[in-house]
Structure 1
């Protein structure tokens, strides 16, 4: 049994991740009863024994949230089926006006779904992929990388100072400025070979397929040496960064590679601090 809440949380996160991965790989939507069946099977496969008593209030809330999302996805699928039935009926009755109305409703519904997907997989400040979006692009449903290359973990310098001094509005401006810098400096890598992600806060992740890794590494090293300045309230502020790299091959666990790159990033940050003393 689990010795701590942290161990329990990790176990729940892992079985939940695998369950959602299998669901979306097969159906691209969630049906609650299917989710439950896969969840229980994954629990058995992973030899996990989590009783109801093991799950405290925090995890109950998490499960309730997931259940609500599952019902929402099932409802969306039902709506599409309903529109399809109405469209077939309209065509059989040669109701052109009704068919146009249904087509318009369906288009609006799908646009709304696309907007929800945008929020689910993309960062609203930079336009980059978020962490979920990155996983969807480069991983299998079970969280294994499906390309060869390198993952770069980037952390901005003194970002807290910008937020505290100028406010979060200007912090967002700094994030956009750095995202624009990355986009500009990595234009030599074709879009199919690079994946740009804001992982959260002032952290970015860049995944590059193996053909361009050496050039990208050199680009980051060069950018570190330059004094990249941004304008905030008529003031010029430097925006440096530290980065770490972890090379990977097909089949490596995504989260493990992120952890390795994160550790390398902190080593790089400490080395840069020591040089400035």
Structure 2
């Protein structure tokens, strides 16, 4: 999560905050005062935040809308697959190259895999959100969407099979697996910190909030990076489900320490 996204998140939770309070929280998260001031100036210039009183900030309507678009993907690991594939065929002409490039990027960010040139697939039905994006970009004439329960040839397969359409290849699961494994030391450190807090409450509430926000931001980044494929397409040692579940538990545990404090509004 970028610094700007952190600011929008905090203001969406509390709606009006002083610059002093924002800086105190973000400094505890290891951002520098100058980078925080630069972020506030950038967001204000983009009309995402406004200073309604001297030194205090609110989100604008544009800021609220932008923050809503930043919200992380749904955790599809908790949902049963309908066994249908959402297939998107894209034929946007060169004359609309900017829209084409933007739409392709959005599809990949949503978790779609590139099957062939101009053909994208995803196991989860996000057609409502997709249709809204297509309408906003005004590319209805160049995109075809369908839901299909099967492929008659070259079905999508798990990584234990050979063939042209393995999930591991389409979604680069090996890279994502490594990224998840890299989070394990951080999870262990966070768990040890929780144990310490339970025995010795010397840490301030601001420090605990910073830990909570750091874990929340990392979880959001992982949710937006992971296509969250159904179990049958994942490696047997897949770390994604465990890591996200552990983060949910850590967030709940850290939140308990903030109940009844001024920072409860952020959890």
Q: TM-score, normalised by structure 2?
A: 0.24
Structure with higher Rg: it is: 1
User: RCO greater where, 1 or 2, for CA within 8 Å and sep 6 or more?
Assistant: 2
Q: TM-score, normalised by structure 1?
A: 0.23
Which one has a larger percent helix, Structure 1 or Structure 2? 1
